[in-house]
Structure 1
């Protein structure tokens, strides 16, 4: 079975637009063929379906092309939204906030990050303009805990990758900036297992690569769907997904398997793990249904077993405690 049987996602790991698309796909539990690209050498196959040449680009099995990141998020979450990211009561507010992010804040972010390209003003000036949006986010977090309510949702997933980029321009400044709630929310986000999985590194896709999957396991697909439905209304459901890369991967349901450290948080996060079993040259993102199981006994994207726990570092590069599920 070729990867045309799956949606194909052209992505660039560090692009915040691509990050938000991968976050929604992961949260929805959708299997896609992931094609990592280089922006300086965009593949002809991507340009053929989306001449504007920006990522992300999602090509569905029926040939439909979705090349706007927010549209990809909505497409994925409309199919399956176990964490209610598309919450109806806050959707209008989320859409307005995302629109401000994508227009005004992104405008100032680009000039702050690349101030040498915009000599009309100083980097500090561009930063001050961007801070108007940061101040709004800070107030929202202090009032509700998340950007558009009390639960992590569409706006949080769509905007935090851009806040991360803004903070990284001058990490020392951001560490002392008057946005403690935003700083804490960003730290929680970058430490989350969901973010860790969608930021896994993969080799750049080449048109000559064998881009195929083994036949999916129908029983496994039914198993996952039924388990997701049974947990839809449980508190704090974890994100779920398998986003497969551009080579062979076999998706199989996995019985409850213990992973080191599972019990320390007071619940068994490994229940109902749906794991991608990789061959040595495979690329796959391994995500679980209840929280996200550790990869201590799972193959890594390169096919090697993970010899131990990861070292988690925060946005300022310092060591942090192990990652946790988003709530």
Structure 2
């Protein structure tokens, strides 16, 4: 087990918050996986005590493949229950551990939050990977345009309309923020390998990124830019052999 393993009683997390005792919660993760980072930030923000087991996605143990039908992280073990897929895991955690709610209470606002979570997963994140994987100039420029369009939609139809606060839907981060942030954080990789720049008109998005960097959960679970650039070289050169790389090539 790595740092964050649970002991009996309330423990302090790496973000300095008190954690609710929940020794049966285990997250199986990879240190640089953005999807796993989502769940780790939710756990930290909600103050849920958990044990952390990290695996190498390049050498997945057999016991892990029996738990994760897709061969992906994160995987959550809660007692005898096993869940995969970060968006599903995060909603489960929010329902089972209701302290520090991570979705709006109003049904319409909660539905809007889920729309934006779906947008992140379906309309934004794939373009991050495809932009990195494309080796030809024409393909890269096509993905640059698609990702830029997604970013502008986030700015004008998302952040500017949903919230007057620093985060997506108010004064504190919720599941929408934690769904978007790990991949937006990896724009540093797109900048390094593909010269991608967030359009300057995206003032709300840039302010949101600054606000997210100040949150304890992000600071506790944030890989360095150098680590991200090194780890994502496999996407930049299209040498990645993982499940996500394969899926994005096929999509």
- Does the alignment reach a TM-score above 0.5? yes
After TM superposition, the structure 1 = structure 2 runs for residues 1-327 of structure 1, keeping only pairs within 5 Å, are 6-61=24-79, 63-89=80-106, 90-116=109-135, 119=136, 121-139=138-156, 140-143=158-161, 144=163, 145=165, 146-170=167-191, 173-174=196-197, 177-199=200-222
Asked whether the equivalents of residues 187 and 196 of structure 2 are also in contact (C-alpha less than 8 Å), the reply is: no
What is the rounded CA distance, in whole Å, between the counterparts of 2:42 and 2:53 in structure 1? 17
Deviation at 1:150, TM superposition (A): 4.9
Q: Could you give the per-residue CA deviations for residues 226-279 of structure 1, whole angstroms, max 9, x where no partner exists?
A: xxxxxxxxxxxxxxxxxxxxxxxxxxxxxxxxxxxxxxxxxxxxxxxxxxxxxx
Q: Could you give the per-residue CA deviations for residues 201-235 of structure 1, whole angstroms, max 9, x where no partner exists?
A: 9xxxxxxxxxxxxxxxxxxxxxxxxxxxxxxxxxx
Instruction: Rate the CA distance shift 1:175–1:50 in 2: closer, same or farther, 3 A.
Output: closer
What is the rounded CA distance, in whole Å, between the counterparts of 1:166 and 1:199 in structure 2? 14
Q: Could you give the per-residue CA deviations for residues 3-42 of structure 1, whole angstroms, max 9, x where no partner exists?
A: 8x52221101221111111111112222221111111011
What is the rounded CA distance, in whole Å, between the counterparts of 1:79 and 1:87 in structure 2? 16
Instruction: Rate the CA distance shift 1:191–1:114 in 2: closer, same or farther, 3 A.
Output: farther
Q: Could you say what secondary structure the match of 1:88 adopts?
A: coil
Asked whether the equivalents of residues 144 and 196 of structure 2 are also in contact (C-alpha less than 8 Å), the reply is: no
Higher helix proportion (structure 1 or 2): 2
Asked whether the equivalents of residues 56 and 67 of structure 1 are also in contact (C-alpha less than 8 Å), the reply is: yes
Large movers: runs of 4+ above 6 Å: none
Deviation at 1:181, TM superposition (A): 1.8
Deviation at 1:94, TM superposition (A): 0.9
What is the rounded CA distance, in whole Å, between the counterparts of 2:65 and 2:202 in structure 1? 40
Asked whether the equivalents of residues 50 and 67 of structure 1 are also in contact (C-alpha less than 8 Å), the reply is: yes
Asked whether the equivalents of residues 168 and 176 of structure 2 are also in contact (C-alpha less than 8 Å), the reply is: yes
Deviation at 1:167, TM superposition (A): 4.4
What is the rounded CA distance, in whole Å, between the counterparts of 2:71 and 2:187 in structure 1? 23
Deviation at 1:74, TM superposition (A): 1.2
Structure 1 segments unaligned to the other structure (5+ residues): 202-311, 317-327
Deviation at 1:95, TM superposition (A): 0.6
TM-score of the two chains, using structure 2 as the length reference: 0.70
Structure 2 segments unaligned to the other structure (5+ residues): 7-22, 230-251
Deviation at 1:149, TM superposition (A): 4.3
Deviation at 1:51, TM superposition (A): 3.0
What is the rounded CA distance, in whole Å, between the counterparts of 1:158 and 1:178 in structure 2? 22
Deviation at 1:200, TM superposition (A): 6.9
TM-score of the two chains, using structure 1 as the length reference: 0.55
What is the rounded CA distance, in whole Å, between the counterparts of 2:75 and 2:149 in structure 1? 31
What is the rounded CA distance, in whole Å, between the counterparts of 2:188 and 2:145 in structure 1? 13
